[in-house]
Structure 1
Amino acid sequence: MATNAVFQRDIKSFWYPEYNKNGYPHVQQGFILHPDRNAEFDPFILMAEDWYKRGVFSDHPHRGFQTVTYVVDGRLEHIDNAGGYSILNAGDVQYMNAGWAARHAEEAFEDDLIHTLQLWLNLPKSLKHTKTSYQNIFVEDAPVVNIDGGFVRVYSGNIADVTGPMQSLVPITMTEITLREGAEYTHVLP
């Protein structure tokens, strides 16, 4: 039986991220979704892939959007103006609702070289002045759905009747898909 898609989208353009080798301490940065194209990607503002040492993202403000930071490798130290402190390891995620005003620092812990992916999501006008909040999702707390040839780790949203622990202000679906060589998987998004 053939499956009919609810809707289809045409591919407007292809692009490949360009990586800047910045040197120490912001070793390398690439924009997966470039901020210059944010009007095309709305509600996505940007998605950055960064490799950095301590001293790159010290105390700084945010306002009116959400961030989702995925630690690919290394340890990420987080400090915020609400008194929050945490160290995230590879596979951990931090969700932040900047809302009306957030101040935080996200630094490589000690002498680590941290590798992160960070997505910025625009908040609707009605939510831009909401209370600032942070939530850490540790890799061991994200449920896993076993699939033929691998698994899907669910950080946020609902996949195969499994709901991830992220409590985002605006719904987000975030998964990590791991497949063995040659395996295939169709990921269905709401």
Structure 2
Amino acid sequence: MDSPAFQKPFQKPRSVMTRFLVKSQQVGDGTDLRESELSSLDPFLMLFHFSVTKPGGFSDHPHRGCETVTYVIKGSIMCEDFTGHRCVIRTGDVQWMTAGKGIIHAEMPEGEGTHTAIQIWINLPHKDKMIEPQHKDVSSNIIPCAQKDGVEVRVLAGEAMGVSSPVYTKTPTMFLDFTMNPGARLHQKIPDSCNSFVYVIEGEGIFGSLVSSPVTAHHVLVLDHGDGLNAWNKSLNPLRFLLLGGQPLNEPVKQYRTFVMCSQSEIDKTVEDFSQFKNGFEKGKDWRSQ
């Protein structure tokens, strides 16, 4: 018998407004990158799904005005920045990095073989864009998990199946990693005020409505508003996908490369600050990652 708390359908389920494939491209030697803009999904900005082998990776580069969330799918990634923070995040670990007023960092593969991760950029409200940089490194063994009726979830942020993540985010965010066995179905509540999307990591699933066509790996599904998401795995293989939701900031967004501010004048000032190593970028003048 279905569990009413978990399997009860929604009065107004979210449907899929848009779906698109995030295509792969080679970026330098040893880096395979899938990149998608999410600028219409306030507060989300970018999605990256990358696989790297040495000597590939992402060498020293700056950020201001946003958060980057790096979730390791397989392998190990070395994260290092000019604040002196240095750590290795491994399979199932996640790092929330708040760039604030400025940071320069690098993300490189640790060890041999292929290392795979997903990174999401989330906008910061204007009041937090110039705060000091911060980090939250969350190891896999403390990320809450739950399992029911052939569905397993890892709660990186927010709540699902009665369990909540201990991670506090500057911008209210839901970040859930679902794995569904063949034949399983899911009804996941999403706060109506949140913008949300799905990214399929592997397998094939049906989202929104049973009459929808199946969606395969590496597709982004932009959801409309409603009570929550319905999903089904009618294939013969496991389905794994991320579900993200975020409270819109409803503020102007001006993005230039890795800088995210609210106006062109703020972007111009950021470019000047970075080039002259001032107003948050001072430590970058003599810093190089190891």
TM superposition score normalised by structure 2 = 0.58
Alpha-carbon distance in structure 2 between the residues aligned to 1:189 and 1:23: 38
Q: How many residues align?
A: 183
Alpha-carbon distance in structure 2 between the residues aligned to 1:103 and 1:23: 20
Distance change (3 Å), C-alpha of 1:3 and 1:76: closer
- 2:25 paired residue number: 20
- 1:68 paired residue number: 69
Partner SS for 1:140: helix
Unaligned runs of at least 5 residues, structure 1: none
Query: Contact 2:10–2:187 (CA<8 Å) still a contact in 1?
Result: no
Unaligned runs of at least 5 residues, structure 2: 1-7, 192-290
Query: Contact 2:123–2:171 (CA<8 Å) still a contact in 1?
Result: no
- 2:246 paired residue number: none
Q: Percent identity?
A: 28
Alpha-carbon distance in structure 1 between the residues aligned to 2:68 and 2:27: 23
What is the CA RMSD across the aligned residues, in angstroms?
A: 2.1
Query: Contact 1:75–1:112 (CA<8 Å) still a contact in 2?
Result: no
Matches of residues 2-41 of structure 1 in structure 2 within 5 Å? 3-5=10-12, 11=17, 13-22=18-27, 24-26=29-31, 28-31=32-35, 33-34=36-37, 38=39, 40-41=40-41
- State the 1:24 CA deviation: 2.0
Alpha-carbon distance in structure 2 between the residues aligned to 1:175 and 1:2: 19
Matches of residues 23-172 of structure 1 in structure 2 within 5 Å? 24-26=29-31, 28-31=32-35, 33-34=36-37, 38=39, 40-53=40-53, 54-172=55-173
- State the 1:92 CA deviation: 1.0
Which AA in structure 2 matches 1:131? E
- State the 1:158 CA deviation: 2.0
- State the 1:103 CA deviation: 1.6
Query: Contact 2:28–2:56 (CA<8 Å) still a contact in 1?
Result: no
Which AA in structure 2 matches 1:42? D
Query: Contact 1:95–1:166 (CA<8 Å) still a contact in 2?
Result: no
**Bigger radius of gyration, 1 or 2?**
2
Distance change (3 Å), C-alpha of 1:153 and 1:22: same
- Provide Cα deviations, 1:11-45, integer angstroms capped at 9, x if missing partner: 1x33211211346222x1112x32xx62x223211
Query: Contact 2:9–2:187 (CA<8 Å) still a contact in 1?
Result: no
Distance change (3 Å), C-alpha of 1:3 and 1:22: closer
Alpha-carbon distance in structure 1 between the residues aligned to 2:10 and 2:88: 44
Which AA in structure 2 matches 1:110? G
Moved over 6 A (4+): none
Distance change (3 Å), C-alpha of 1:111 and 1:124: same
Alpha-carbon distance in structure 2 between the residues aligned to 1:177 and 1:8: 17
- Provide Cα deviations, 1:62-104, integer angstroms capped at 9, x if missing partner: 1000111111111111112222121111111111111111121
Higher strand share: 2
TM superposition score normalised by structure 1 = 0.86
Alpha-carbon distance in structure 1 between the residues aligned to 2:186 and 2:101: 40
Partner SS for 2:58: coil
**Higher RCO structure, 1 or 2 (CA under 8 Å, sep 6+):** 2
